[in-house]
Structure formats: structure tokens, C-alpha cells
Structure 1
Amino acid sequence: MRGLKKQRRIQIIIVAFVALALSTALIGYAMRDGINFFRSPTQVMEEPPAPSEVFRLGGLVAEGSLERGQGETVRFDVTDGGATVSVVFTGILPDLFEENQGMIGTGKYVNGVFEASEILAKHDENYMPKEVADALKEQGLYKEAGGS
């Protein structure tokens, strides 16, 4: 009787461990496409991602680079001062999207062009996405508002 209880406990512990490992694997598998890493244009040019990888690209919209094409297709360049990446986006841009302003786009880098599926722009004159501000600070091109 005693050996049966001990054996039963061991079986329950093994089943619990297998269930925990399986659930952890399933959660990891489900989240693999939901995580989008941020990259600056310099990081993209130094180490280009695979064409199938979805990531976020952020920086400033380069002055004079905004071109509106047929329909809703827009082309522009994003820069962090160290490198520039060409971006193509088909869709409606945010109202506050303009040149020399911060932006973050989600998409893929295919054949030297970032194909954006979503574009986010600043929401007032003082806002810049944290990732973009950090990347520009590393390049020495961004200063905090208020002179700090």
C-alpha cells in the first residue's frame, strides 16, 4: 500500500511537469509572431533582418523624401542621422505624419526597402516615441525639450 502511494505521487509529479512544459512551449509558440523588435535605420543597415521577419523601424522622416504615388501608396525615407532606410507604405497615413517628425513603422525589410504595414506618428509637438528618442540620443542628434 505504501509503495502504491509513493508511485502515485511520482506519477502526478511527472504529469504536472509534462503539462507545465507543454503549456510553456505552446505559449512560446503562440507568441512568436506577436513580438516585434524595434530597430533604428543604423541597426537595419548594419545587420539586415530576414525578409520574413516583422519588426518596428523608427526614426525621423527625412526632409524632401515624401513621395505620394498611385492611390494610397507613399514612399519616404527614415533616418536616425547615421543611416537612411527607404520605406513604402500603402494605406492612410496618420494626420500628423510629416517630414522631420518622429515615426515608427511595423513591417518587413525586403530587397533594401522597408515595406510597412502600419505607421505611427507623433501626437503633439513635444512627443517622440521612446525608442526613436533613444536611438537618436545614441547618435547625438536628439536633445530633450526644455534644454536638458
Structure 2
Amino acid sequence: MTALQDFSATSIDGREVALSDYAGKVVLVVNTASQCGFTPQYKGLQELHERYAEQGLVILGFPCDQFGGQEPGSDTEIASFCERNFGVTFPLFSKIEVNGDGAHPLYQWLRSEKGGALGSKIKWNFTKYLVGKNGQVIDRYAPTTKPEKLVKDIEKALAS
């Protein structure tokens, strides 16, 4: 059975990261963008990171420019923007595609595990996937779902 730990991705500073580094953790995977109406969700994601990281939550941000060209910057510009405007300290990755033939393998798998309103396709920036300690997808959340609305599900996953 495929699990989150089977994938790797390039960090925003260019290092290859084995997602097996997060084995045994609860992981929230989010496709992000710096010029989106949902961009203020970075603040809520950072708050979840600060509140639950010591209990085993990891948030992984994957910038994507597939929705309205709302992530046009370079990886360096994206990292700087996130740190400067939202104090982001959770892991960010190099810009990827989440839909189509060029979709990152992680997102191909996530989409196959949990569909949404448009089937398996990602509808917009800030779609969220909660992955349990076993590396399996627990749930998928719409871009409109604010990070603070995930607290109960995160706490349940951390307790299991």
C-alpha cells in the first residue's frame, strides 16, 4: 500500500527531502499561493504549526501556480514572502503542479486517495490533505476550510 513516506520532494531551498522523514507524524499537506484570496490562511497554518508541532504535527506547503497564476515568484521570492508576511517556519517546498500530466507524484497519489467537489482534481489553492501517522490520507479539505477548523481532526489524529 502506498503511503506518504514513499515520496520525496524538493525543499524550497533546493534540497531533496524524503517524506519518510515524517513517518509517525500527522501531516497536513497544502498547495499554497502568495497572491490568492486564501493567502491569509498562511497565518492559520503557522498557528497550527506552533500549537501542535511538539505533539507531532507537520505542515508541508507546496506552492503552485496552476490557479490563476497566483504564485508567479521564484522559490526564493516565495520563501521570503512567507517568512516576511506570515512568519512561516513550517517546511515549504519548491513550486510544483498539482493537476494534469505534470502533477507531482505526491499529488497524483493524494488525489487518487481522496476526491473533492471536482472529482480527484484540485479545485484551487489551499486545498488541504490530513495524513495520519501511518502515512494514509485521513481527509481532504476545501480551500475555503480555514486551518482553525481542522483542530478537532488534527487532535484526533495526534491522539490515535
TM-score by length of 1: 0.27
Q: Which structure's residues are more often strand, by fraction?
A: 1
TM-score by length of 2: 0.26
Greater relative contact order, per chain length (Cα 8 Å cut-off, separation 6+): 2
Structure number with bigger Rg: 1
